[in-house]
Structure 1
């Protein structure tokens, strides 16, 4: 047990020391004129960030003309200058352009607000009529529901009169009987409507016969619905 602990302490000892356990011997920096570090771009060990115009601009900004960097070489090319100008126009617009964009946005918001207010006003004007139509449709639906319920109860009463009180409404025979009764009832309703139309035509003919010829309206069109 003691041997693994000693090995662990031996490995941790260099880490806990106030000085590096392993010696580090860095390569001497190549100093140029006035002790300015100038990496050799042709040296394969030179770091990539020590090459190119960016590091040259850094040296010139730090040491000025003493760095030996030609400031003309730090100026962007026409292509780079065009790209920089386009980026500035896109991401850094002028104050006038920003004001125009804000004004256009405000005008669009105001237009949308006016359209919304007009739509609300139009809908509010239609509201009483819409409510009246809704109430009428609801009343008609309830009336149809009551009529349908009364019709089914009437058909059920007729079927029970024919089959008896204890007839099973789920039986096939009962369902067929209900269909026959519905057909008969539809025929009766159709006959009643036809009779009403004939009576209306007869009444109209009597009125027309009693009216002078000059005041008679044109004869009604023949009814083709039957």
Structure 2
């Protein structure tokens, strides 16, 4: 009889303890759920307050840029996953960017590619480029010196060229004046030939003028021929005299 009573009491105690434990667990879970719900509500309220504080109406990325922060806390496109973008973020925001600084160091492939590019783009050494630049400078200085010398030489001949030009102009002026005087003399001779005043536009006057011009040209031609013959005779005489002296 006592054993049965004890068993019943033991079962009752276990049942009461289990009931208390289950009740306590449910209460703890409810309390945790309430705490989580309260934290979510608080975070939502905080976000709402921050949104209302942003009176500029800028987007979050632009707002971060204005305040010197990284525009995005997590990637928004494939470009944000590239090494170039992350290097840029670290270079601008430092450790606050959250980027591993080891990404800023070039890889072996980057170094190899850079060396290949430099070997093609800049095939000469610094000494070779300096020597090439020196040779170009010497050639340019020699070119300038030669040009200066040519200018000095031309300036020395300037007076002679001026004199030749003045003589040429004077000769042409004299020839033009002589032709004009010759024409006037011919016209005067034709007028004297007729013995009376005759219009220079008259047909008879023009025919006689042409005839006189032909006669004058013929005389001038004969005169040039005679002068040329005289020069040749003089040269022959001088040459014969030199031969006689040599004998």
Aligned to 1:10: none
Q: In the TM superposition, what is the alpha-carbon distance from 1:109 to its structure 2 partner? A: 4.1
Aligned to 1:215: 244
Give the TM-score normalised by the residue count of structure 2: 0.48
Aligned to 1:157: 188
Evaluate the alpha carbon distance shift between residue 175 and residue 98 of structure 1 in structure 2; reply closer, same or farther with a 3 A threshold: farther
Query: How do 1:27-106 residues align onto structure 2 when only pairs under 5 Å count?
Result: 37-39=73-75, 46-47=76-77, 49-59=79-89, 62-63=94-95, 67=99, 71=103, 75=107, 76=110, 78-83=112-117, 89=122, 100=131, 103-104=134-135, 106=137
Q: In the TM superposition, what is the alpha-carbon distance from 1:108 to its structure 2 partner? A: 3.5
Aligned to 2:173: 142
SS of match in other structure, 1:136: helix
Say whether the 8 Å CA contact 1:60–1:71 is kept in structure 2.
no
Structure with larger Rg: 2
Aligned to 1:126: 157
Evaluate the alpha carbon distance shift between residue 148 and residue 38 of structure 1 in structure 2; reply closer, same or farther with a 3 A threshold: same
Structure 2, unpaired ranges of 5+: 1-53, 62-71
- Cα RMSD of the aligned pairs, angstroms, is 4.9
Evaluate the alpha carbon distance shift between residue 132 and residue 187 of structure 1 in structure 2; reply closer, same or farther with a 3 A threshold: same
Query: How do 1:5-16 residues align onto structure 2 when only pairs under 5 Å count?
Result: none
Q: In the TM superposition, what is the alpha-carbon distance from 1:97 to its structure 2 partner? A: 6.9
Say whether the 8 Å CA contact 2:89–2:97 is kept in structure 1.
no
Evaluate the alpha carbon distance shift between residue 199 and residue 56 of structure 1 in structure 2; reply closer, same or farther with a 3 A threshold: closer
Say whether the 8 Å CA contact 2:200–2:206 is kept in structure 1.
no
Evaluate the alpha carbon distance shift between residue 159 and residue 68 of structure 1 in structure 2; reply closer, same or farther with a 3 A threshold: same
SS of match in other structure, 1:111: helix
Q: In the TM superposition, what is the alpha-carbon distance from 1:151 to its structure 2 partner? A: 0.9
Structure 1, unpaired ranges of 5+: 1-17, 28-35, 40-45, 218-226
Taking the aligned partners of 1:181 and 1:115, their CA distance within structure 2 comes to 59
